[in-house]
């Protein structure tokens, strides 16, 4: 892995981190006992010692007859068809990366004179190469490039200041538009200037796509097959049952072209696939690696995840997203007429990922006459995650991914807001 990350602040380079890392992770199954270890030293002596220590350590582990390695399969997709690698990766000079970060900052400052400060503008690019080999005959190689940019801008007016954030990611350098990232970050700060407090109210609401991404990320763990079997999921006993609004379709797509977490194969060499999780609000199933599929009496969905060679394979989502609808955001505003447009939630990490209960701070805009009237802040919303998705009446067509999590904006028939 090679990773370069550059951070700008007030027009100057704050930091430039260049990292390179490589190694091997070894997983063994001997006598129904599993072992694991890793090394970043590739001498024959070191690798021989790794094998001996992993096998020795596994002898103290309890046996489990469901342990097995994935069998070899013929991939149906390629890195080229998924658009995962940028051939220009090694041709971009360090000065170009500095310029990209600077353009992000200039984009924010240039969108409006009220954007006075840029707390941080970041540009990053990395390359990851992997190879998975097992004793069943699996031998798969893969590589991908990753580009990202982000900004945190501050808008000021009349003694008031508001922050706005924006980011973008792609496997291709040319798909990243630094100026647009900066402009959008600045505009997100500007739209909150002059924010008011509102009284406690029950009203319809539109939840912006970036906020819905945060909510879906909180739900992601409930789709993992190991969590279901461990009793740590909102969907225990709900397979085949309606758990959300019929307008909601949720997918995990490991072979989504251009998807941030797309790949030909997963962390143990099983082939990636597109897996339906919710179809018209009905829970269709869960995500598995080889081991937890065996435990559940199911088949692997190609969802073994590994952060790097030091990480043991675990079940993880790939590109998890809600399917888009047919209406624009403006059309949703017109449909609710009067209500709330939620553009930020505070404390999303506190959502109970087993029960789904939440109580969160919120800000956004008040909708009046089918359009944005003024920004609002100082609110709190509470409820249940699945309950919120049950009240969803429409999905917009503005599907957006934040990394590997994607969602359109959603219209909710009613939400209770605690205000001033």
pTM of the model: 0.95
How far from each other are the two terminal CA atoms of the chain, in whole angstroms? 50
- 265 forms bridges with which residues in the sheet? 271
The tens place of each residue's pLDDT in the chain, 420 residues long, gives: 777 787 877 777 777 777 888 999 999 999 999 999 999 999 999 999 999 999 999 999 999 999 999 999 999 999 999 999 999 998 888 888 889 999 999 999 999 999 999 999 999 999 999 999 999 999 999 999 999 999 999 999 999 999 999 999 999 999 999 999 999 999 999 999 999 999 999 999 999 999 999 999 999 999 999 999 999 999 999 999 999 999 999 999 999 999 999 999 999 999 999 999 999 999 999 999 999 999 999 999 999 999 899 988 999 999 999 999 999 999 999 999 999 999 999 999 999 999 999 999 999 999 999 999 999 999 999 999 999 999 999 999 999 999 999 999 999 999 999 986
**Cα gap 59→77, rounded to integer Å:** 39
Let me know: does 365 contact 341? Beta carbons within 8 Å.
yes
Measured at the CA of 354, the angle between CA 353 and CA 356, to 5 degrees, comes to: 65
Can you list the domains of the chain with their CATH numbers? 2-21+76-190 (3.30.2290.10), 195-420 (no CATH)
């Amino acid at each position: 892995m090679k990773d370069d990350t550059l951070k700008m602040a007030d027009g100057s380079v704050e930091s430039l981190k260049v990292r390179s890392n490589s190694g091997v992770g070894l997983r063994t199954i001997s006598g129904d006992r599993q072992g694991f270890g890793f090394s970043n030293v590739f001498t024959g002596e070191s690798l021989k010692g790794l094998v001996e220590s992993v096998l020795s350590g596994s002898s103290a582990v309890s046996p489990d007859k469901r342990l097995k390695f994935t069998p070899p399969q013929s991939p149906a997709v390629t890195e080229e068809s998924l658009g995962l690698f940028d051939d220009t990766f090694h041709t971009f000079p360090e000065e170009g990366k500095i310029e990209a970060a600077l353009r992000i900052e200039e984009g924010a400052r240039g969108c409006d004179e009220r954007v006075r400060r840029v707390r941080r503008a970041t540009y990053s690019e990395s390359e990851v190469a992997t190879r998975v080999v097992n004793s069943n005959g699996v031998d798969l190689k893969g590589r991908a490039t990753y580009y990202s940019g982000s900004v945190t801008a501050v808008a000021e007016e009349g003694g008031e200041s508001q922050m706005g954030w924006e980011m973008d990611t792609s496997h291709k350098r040319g798909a990243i538009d630094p100026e647009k990232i900066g402009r959008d970050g600045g505009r997100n700060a500007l739209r909150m200037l002059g924010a008011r407090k509102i009284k406690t109210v029950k009203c319809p609401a539109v939840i912006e796509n970036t906020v819905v991404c945060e909510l879906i990320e909180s739900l992601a763990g409930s789709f993992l097959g190991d969590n279901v079997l461990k009793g740590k999921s909102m969907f225990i006993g709900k397979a085949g049952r309606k758990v959300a609004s019929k307008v909601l379709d949720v997918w995990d797509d490991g072979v989504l072209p251009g998807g941030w977490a797309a790949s030909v194969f997963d962390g143990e060499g099983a082939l990636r696939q597109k897996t339906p999780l919710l179809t018209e609000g009905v829970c269709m199933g869960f995500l598995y690696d080889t081991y937890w599929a065996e435990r559940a009496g199911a088949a692997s969905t190609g969802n073994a995840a590994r952060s790097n060679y030091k990480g043991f394979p675990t079940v993880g989502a790939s590109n998890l997203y809600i399917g888009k609808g047919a209406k624009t955001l403006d059309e949703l505003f017109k449909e609710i007429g009067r209500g709330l447009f939620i553009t930020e939630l505070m404390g999303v990490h506190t959502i109970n990922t087993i029960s789904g209960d939440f109580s969160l701070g919120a800000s956004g805009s008040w909708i009046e006459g089918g359009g944005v009237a003024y920004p609002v802040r100082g609110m709190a919303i509470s409820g249940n995650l699945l309950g919120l998705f049950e009240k969803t009446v429409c999905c917009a067509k503005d599907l957006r991914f934040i990394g590997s999590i994607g969602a359109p904006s959603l219209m909710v028939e009613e939400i209770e807001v605690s205000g001033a």
